[in-house]
Amino acid sequence: MNRVALVTGSSRGIGRIIAERLAADGFAVAVNGLPGDDGVPAGAAAITAAGWVAGAFPADVTDPGAVAGLVAAVESDLGPLSVVVFNATGPQPNTTLEEAGWPEHLAELDFFVKSPVLIGQAVLAGMRERAYGRLIHIDSEVADRPPPHRSAYVTAKAAQVGLARSWAIELAPHGITVNTVAPGFVPVERHVAVTPETRAAYRATVPADRLGTPADVAHAVSFLASEAAGFITGERIHVNGGRSIAG
């Protein structure tokens, strides 16, 4: 089977490490970010320099026309998509409830619900025809452990979890699995302010005596994208060192 993976928002951070891991696993990887983001061609070049297969595909994954063009370009250049990792994200400002109006909620929903819906609708016909697909959402532990002043972000992430679970039921008969990976605090994430106090506060609640890394997230994605995960769908893997079960 031709193994092609699209990782949205993979020009840097967790997305880039996921893209590199899937390339090492043998996938031809489509590296994605916004047009004009130098990390898109740089990420693809780094993967090909390592001897793997990748291409640069800049596109705004919240724009319907751009998504249609993105999927068409990836499948034309690399082949039919067998894996999509929904990782793209935007700014995540700290705002009070009074400041987090409907426009702020919509801005978060654009990335975590609208974008997966657009891409999903663009790839599902081909996946159904081939009776195979792996759709993997990167959500967040905040859906279970909401921090203060992040209500719009938390709401959108919770909606993303519901979206993935509903897809899993509908797509299971077609050989398409849908799962989510929920990272905890990973310091290299974009838009996350990392301070010594933040690190200390988080570490105090994590049974494992270290902070998470992008590679930890990529390991989980690698498994869910593999043939070995074919009988797993509708599941959510927390990658947070046990914080999800800590008191």
Cβ proximity of 91 and 10 under 8 Å: no
In this predicted structure, the answer to whether residue 46 has a pLDDT above a threshold of 70 is yes
Which of the given ranges, 10-19, 88-97, 196-205, has the highest pLDDT on average? Answer: 10-19
Would you please indicate which residues are annotated as catalytic (active-site) residues? 153
For residue 32, give the nearest of 12, 54, 10, 13 by alpha carbon. 10
DSSP reduced 3-state for 84: strand
Cβ proximity of 5 and 84 under 8 Å: yes
Cβ proximity of 217 and 186 under 8 Å: yes
CA 37 to chain centroid, in Å, comes to: 18
Q: Which domains does the chain have, with CATH numbers?
A: 4-239 (3.40.50.720)
Q: What tokens appear for 71 in the block? A: 């999927």
- What's the confidence (pLDDT) of residue 188? 63
Largest CA distance in the chain: 51
Amino acid code (one letter) for 172: A
Q: What is the pLDDT of residues 204-238, one digit of tens each?
A: 666 766 778 899 999 999 999 999 999 999 999 99
Q: What is the pTM of this model?
A: 0.91
Q: What is the pLDDT of residues 125-159, one digit of tens each?
A: 999 999 999 999 999 887 788 778 888 888 999 99
Amino acid code (one letter) for 49: A
